Structure 1
Amino acid sequence: MPYLIAAVALVGALCVLDLILTFGVIRRLRHHTELLNKRGQSSGPSEKVMLDAGEEPGDFVATTNVGEQISKQELVGDTVVGFFTAHCEPCKERVPQYLDHVATLPGGKDRTLAVVIGNDADSLSLAEQLAAGSRVVMERPGGDVVKAFQVTGYPALCVLDGDGRIKASGFKLDEILEKVPA
């Protein structure tokens, strides 16, 4: 009987220790999630999400969701380019703002390009949402358009000038538009 009592006490102590460790892991995961979400919400000068103002994207050719070919040479005038992924909360938050802004652009969809990273059901749904106001290209991570703009994080947004150079870039469209002269 004393062995049984000792075994039950040992198992009970192990369960309590396991529970404490589990709570610690959950707390740490919540902290990491907050840090990742804050990274997507900030756009400090040390965080380079893509090419900077004055730089020119590399050449690329991609196919939009409606089957038309698009290349760097077709991005003329004040073109807004956005890179989004369905598995990023800041991306989901920025999509309505992006769509509201591109709806006001003269030239309509010809002055926009949204690049959706991924090909799962959530990415397809995001692409359909963006297609309401923008030309949409779906790409795998590290695809041609992503490489051309040297995207390192999401969401990544920029405005191109008439020469195909970046006027401003960053995480937040409103901050980018403040940097762009009217």
Structure 2
Amino acid sequence: MSYVAVASVLACVVGALNLVLVMGVIKRLREMSPSPTAEPPRVTLLPGDRPGPFTAEATDGEVIDAAGLTDSLVGFLSPDCSACKDQLPQFLAYAQAMGGRERTVAVLIGSPEELRDLAAQVGPVARVVMEPPFGPVATAFSTRGYPAVVLLDGAGTVSHSGATFATFPKPDRLMREAARV
């Protein structure tokens, strides 16, 4: 009879210990997970920031630098990024609506071999710069993830940025504002 009592007490102690450990794990997971109202992680410069100095050569041989990027859209894309593939149609449409190649730069991250198809897709509407991770343009824009899109105003200051175009103004409104200036 004493064996049954000892086994019952032991089972209760193990069950209570398990409950305490599970509650600790749940508390830790709640602390580590972002709240649903938290801001999305920063992927590039924030509005009001200015990109650092850089010089890069586009695939067509044009030299692009920070001083020349005013009233421009700059997108950072990687071929192995599923979110980049999802955002590509929006990037192409926004670039086309902004005036195409003259006001858009697509910075493609990776090796030239893996970027060939992506460059062919964005080339008609954007000047294409290919660079490895942490290249000069990505570094100048403090890019931390892909996709990243940045809209620069007439002074070369970031007016909008993020991983999507959700907070960006409609391109037709931008064109009307630029025409008034």
Structure 1 residue 175 corresponds to structure 2 residue 167: yes
SS in 1 for 2:73: strand
Distance 1:177 1:121 in 2: 34
**Alignment partners' CA distance in 2, 1:69 and 1:148:** 15
**TM-score using structure 2 length:** 0.70
Give the SS at the match of 2:97.
Answer: coil
Q: Please, what is the CA RMSD of the aligned residues?
A: 2.0
User: Does residue 155 of the first structure (1) align with residue 147 of the second (2)?
Assistant: yes
Which residue number corresponds to residue 30 of structure 1?
Answer: none
User: Cα–Cα, structure 1 residues 120 and 137, in superposed 2: closer, same or farther, change >3 Å?
Assistant: closer
2-structure distance, mates of 1:86, 1:50 = 18
Given that 1:51 and 1:169 are in contact with CA atoms closer than 8 Å, whether structure 2 keeps it comes out as yes
Does the aligned pair in 2 maintain the 1:158–1:176 contact within 8 Å?
A: no
Which residue identity is paired with 2:115? Answer: S
Residue matched to 2:46: 52
Q: 3-state SS of the aligned residue for 2:98?
A: coil
Deviation of the 1:176 alpha carbon: 2.7
Residue equivalent to 1:92: 85
Q: 2:43 touches 2:145 (CA, 8 Å); kept in 1?
A: yes
The amino acid of 1:52's aligned partner reads: L
* 2:128 alignment partner in structure 1: 136
- Letter matched to residue 85 of structure 1: S
Report runs of 4+ in structure 1 exceeding 4 Å deviation: none
- 1:128 positional shift: 1.4
Letter in 1 for 2:109: I
Structure 1 position 122, deviation (Å):
3.0
Question: What is the distance in 1 between the residues matched to 2:95 and 2:70?
Answer: 15
Matched pairs, number: 137
